[in-house]
Amino acid sequence: MTDIKTISQEINVNPEEIIVDYRLVYHSRQVSLSLLGLASTINDLANRARDHQLKPAEVQGGKFTITNHGTSGSLFASPIINQPQAAILGIGVIEKRVVVIDDATAIRPMVYLSLTFDHRVLDGAISDYFLGQVVESLQNWA
């Protein structure tokens, strides 16, 4: 993948959480956050969303959403894009399953991921490459 086009100068990540009748969409402009830093920020925003204390700037302008439908116990979903976003990554519930590793069975935490994207904005090959990188990162978590 050598010819990747810049679609937006901003990088926005939108972890989405359904809170009763309120949807929290966080747009991170701090791309240097660690995973723990991002988790802490999301928890803070979720708490403020439950208390209806979010500012309009905190829920506008995203290009990519991460939705965790697994919190309701669902294995797989086909999330839809909220325009003007380019893509949405759905994450199902994490469950222990039996897998084969080097001709031996093992029990590992497994999750289904789904990526929905706007073909007018993203090519299928680039989107597939992105999802493959996400999978590889999760499989080789250190």
* Torsion of Cα atoms, 25 then 128 then 78 then 98, to 10°: -110
Q: Which of 52, 103, 123, 128 is catalytic?
A: 123
Q: Which of 102, 118, 119, 128 is catalytic?
A: 119
Beta strands 14-19 and 22-25 are: antiparallel
Query: Peptide bond preceding 56: is omega within 30 degrees of 0, i.e. cis?
Result: no
Query: Peptide bond preceding 15: is omega within 30 degrees of 0, i.e. cis?
Result: no
Beta strands 104-110 and 95-101 are: antiparallel
Strand partners, 19: 22
What is residue 126's three-state secondary structure? helix
27 is catalytic: no
118 is catalytic: no
Supply the residues annotated as catalytic: 119, 123
